Chain A
Amino acid sequence: MSLNVLGSLASAEGGGFETPTTAEFYQPLLFDGPLAITRPAVVLMLSVGLIAWFLIATTRRAAIVPSKGQWVTEGAYGFIRNGVARDIIGSKDFLRFVPLLFTMFVLILVNNLFGVIPPVQFPTMSRIGIPIALTLVVYVVYHYIGIKRVGLGAYFKHLVPDGLPGWIVPLIFVLEVITFFITRPLTLALRLFGNMFAGHLLLLLFITGGEYMIIHGGIGLKIAGAGSFAMAFVLTIFEILIEFLQAYIFTLLAATYIAGSLSDEH
């Protein structure tokens, strides 16, 4: 809000500061309309190529004494395999979900980090369609393994825990159906999208605001502009933390949902 006030003050002198809007996130590079090749699409393809190159290059000549790259890859893989998959899903059948979880983690992490890495600087996940696609994979997987394990009827029966008084069962059933089929995928996609979107908008606001105040403002506004740049620097560090955290949380929640479908009681 204070930036709005500053902007309106400055606009009295001409020009005026335009706060970044949601329109900043739609950037078609080639064509237009639904088939446009947009900036996030290019970033996503770039990230896939980069991940494939890095993973192949660091594991093709795997050695007992690892190189630096191999150490990074093994660290990330070990973290997902032991820290997420085995701890959450359990040691019995976690191994077949490790590829899915590792792919999700690396893809989201690299795409999130692209939000602050200079030549790219666009978090792919701030376009809602891409988190939705990732969530759809998780959604299909955890329902599929749940239904395959016990059958369709029993799957719905298992939604309600045993030993509840009869009158409360329909109520709990409705609540659990809403949780399983609506709330879970919705929050999974929106959490990733919302964090990346809000973070990028915040950085845009502080950097463009700082730039405007330094170039167009008086001496007081120039000092405030320097403060705005300092704030943008601090927020960039914070943003890197959030980017790691969101990749981890997405993987953790996917593992939790899969574990819920595999266990006997929900």
Chain B
Amino acid sequence: MTGNIAILGYGLSAIGPGVGIGLIFAAYINGVARQPEARGMLQSIAILGFALAEALAIFGLVLAFVFK
């Protein structure tokens, strides 16, 4: 089987953000379940955290294509 080993690097770099995004949305769901009226405020915070955690995976994706 042939392929590009840089893609494995992307797989590795996706582990951390995957766990992180899971934790962020778990906390968001917990928060909304406890206090439904705080949903609007929590939503933007959760999406902000999601975007920041996701950045690492995106770096991995781009670098997988850069270092061919």
Distance in Å: Cβ of B41 to nearest Cβ of chain A? 8
Produce 1/0 per residue, B1-25, CB < 8 A to A. Answer: 1010000000000000000000000
Within 8 A of A (CB), among B1-57: 1, 3, 40-41, 44, 47-48, 50-52, 54-55
Q: Which of A5, A198, A248 contacts B61 (CB 8 A)?
A: A198
Q: Give residues 70-98 of A contacting B (CB, 8 Å).
A: 83-84, 87-88
CB distance from A19 to the nearest CB of B (A): 10
From residue A192, how far is it (CB to closest CB) to chain B in Å?
9
Residue from the list B40, B48, B58 in contact with A187, Cβ < 8 A:
B58
Contact size class for B?
10 to 19
Identify which of B1, B44, B50, B51 contacts A5 (C-beta below 8 A).
Answer: B1
Instruction: Judge if A205 is at the interface, Cβ distance under 8 Å.
Output: no
Give the most central of A4, A190, A194: most B CB within 10 Å: A194
Chain A residues, Cβ within 8 Å of B54: 191
Instruction: Tell me if B's interface is mostly helix, strand, loop or mixed.
Output: helix
Determine if A194 and B48 form an interchain contact, defined as CB atoms under 8 angstroms apart. Answer: no
Docked pose: A190 CA to B47 CA in angstroms: 17
B41, closest chain A residue (CB): A87
A249 contact set on B, CB distance < 8 A: 47-48, 50-51
Q: Report A19-45 CB contacts with B as 1/0, cut-off 8 Å.
A: 000100000000000000000000000
The listed residue (B41, B51, B58, B61) touching A253 by CB distance below 8 A is: B51
| Contacts A/B (CB < 8 Å), 21 sampled | A1-B1, A1-B3, A5-B1, A22-B65, A84-B44, A87-B44, A88-B44, A187-B52, A187-B58, A191-B51, A191-B54, A191-B58, A194-B61, A194-B62, A198-B61, A249-B47, A249-B48, A249-B50, A252-B47, A253-B48, A253-B51
Known A-B contacts: A1-B1, A187-B59. Give 7 more (CB < 8 A): A4-B1, A22-B65, A88-B44, A187-B55, A193-B62, A253-B48, A253-B51
